Amino acid sequence: MITLSYKGKNTFLEAVNEKSGSDVLECYQCGKCVSTCPVSNFMDFPPREIMQMIKLELKEECQMANSTWFCLTCSACSGRCPREINIPAVMEAVRHMAIEENFHPDSKQVKNIRKFHEIFLDMIRRYGRNYELRMMAEFNIRTRNLFKDMHLAPKALLKGKIPLGVKSMKSAKAIKKMYEMADKLEQQSK
């Protein structure tokens, strides 16, 4: 049972709208996003229901759902949305709010996804680009699953999909600067 009681302001809805630059109120619940989404089968609430939950100010339920973490931001949904809602941006907004407030589902899958995000961003910060080999290693170590996907490694190596080193990049410094600026901004906003 969901109890709806209006407190004079749509805080969650307005925050999501502001972060995503999209208007969730536009959603008329057609479900085209759900049938488009390649991973909606694995979500506990498909994108359409997430939109409705935002409208109903069900912040906790929304952040506890694994949907926003499972979203691949492939944008197939927003490409087809008749109400022109940027659904991946909405998903991302909810995700960001969860990270900021340190409030996210307890499931292992979501934890792994978070670790993946963190490691990936760390790779970019260090090298300005992804270093696949290190990324895989770190992910396997941090998730305590050393031999995960190891059987794919020989084939991928032979095909050159996993370079052994990382090529240096001209603009790596600039990217580092971006990170620093982002950190500064984040601290300011706190």
Partner 1 sequence: MARVGVFVCFCGANIADFVDVPTVVEEAKKIREVKFAVDYKYMCSDPGQQMIRDAIVQYRLTSIVVAACSPRMHEKTFRKALSDAGMNPYLLEVANIREHSSWVHQKDKKAATDKAGDLVRMAVAKSIANEQLHEISVPVTKRALVIGGGIAGIQAALDIADARIPVTLVERSPSIGGRMAQLDETFPTLDCSQCILTPKMVDVASHPFIELIPYSEVIELDGYVGNYKAKIRKKASYVNFKSCTGCGACWQKCPVKVPNEYNMGIDTRKAIYTPFPQAVPNKPVIDAKHCTMLLKGKCGICAKFCEKGAIDFKMTDEVIEREIGAVVVATGYDLWDATPYEEYGVGRYKDIINSLEFERMVSANGPTGGLPVRPSDGKVPKTVVFIKCVGSRDKAKGIEFCSKICCMYTAKHAILLHHKVHDSRAYIFYMDIRAAGKGYEEFVNRAQVETGAVYLRGRVSKIYQKGEKLMVRGEDGQLGQEVEVEADLVVLATAIIPDKENPALARLLGISYDKYGYLSEAHPKLRPVETAKAGIFLAGCTQAPKDIPETVAQASACAAKVCGLFAGDTIKKDPMVSTVNKDFCSGCQNCVKVCPYQAIVTEDIPLGHGAKEMRTVAKINEGVCQGCGSCVAICRSMAINLAGFTDPQIINEIVAI
Give the interface size with partner 1 as a residue count (CB under 8 A): 22
Interface with partner 1, residue 2, by CB under 8 A? yes
Nearer to partner 1 by Cβ, of 23 and 132: the residue is 23
Interface with partner 1, residue 33, by CB under 8 A? no
Alpha-carbon distances of 188 from 3, 60, 148, 176, 182, rounded to whole Å: 36, 26, 40, 19, 10
Length, in residues, of the chain: 190
Nearer to partner 1 by Cβ, of 52 and 75: the residue is 52
Nearer to partner 1 by Cβ, of 26 and 101: the residue is 26
To the nearest whole angstrom, how small is the minimum distance from the Cβ of residue 64 to partner 1? Answer: 14
Interface with partner 1, residue 28, by CB under 8 A? yes
Site string for partner 1, 41-60 (x = CB under 8 A): ----x--xx--xx-xx----
Interface with partner 1, residue 3, by CB under 8 A? yes
Q: How far is CA 34 from the centre of its chain?
A: 17
Distance from C-alpha of 162 to C-alpha of 53, rounded to nearest angstrom: 41
Q: Which stretch binds partner 1 (CB under 8 A): 19-27, 115-123, 129-137, 143-151?
A: 19-27
The H or E element that residue 151 is part of is none
Distance from C-alpha of 47 to C-alpha of 27, rounded to nearest angstrom: 11
Distance from C-alpha of 147 to C-alpha of 145, rounded to nearest angstrom: 6
Distance from C-alpha of 123 to C-alpha of 132, rounded to nearest angstrom: 9
Interface with partner 1, residue 153, by CB under 8 A? no
Q: How many CB atoms lie within 10 A of CB 182?
A: 11
Q: What residues make contact with partner 1 under the rule CB under 8 A?
A: 1-6, 8-10, 13, 23, 25-26, 28-29, 45, 48-49, 52-53, 55-56
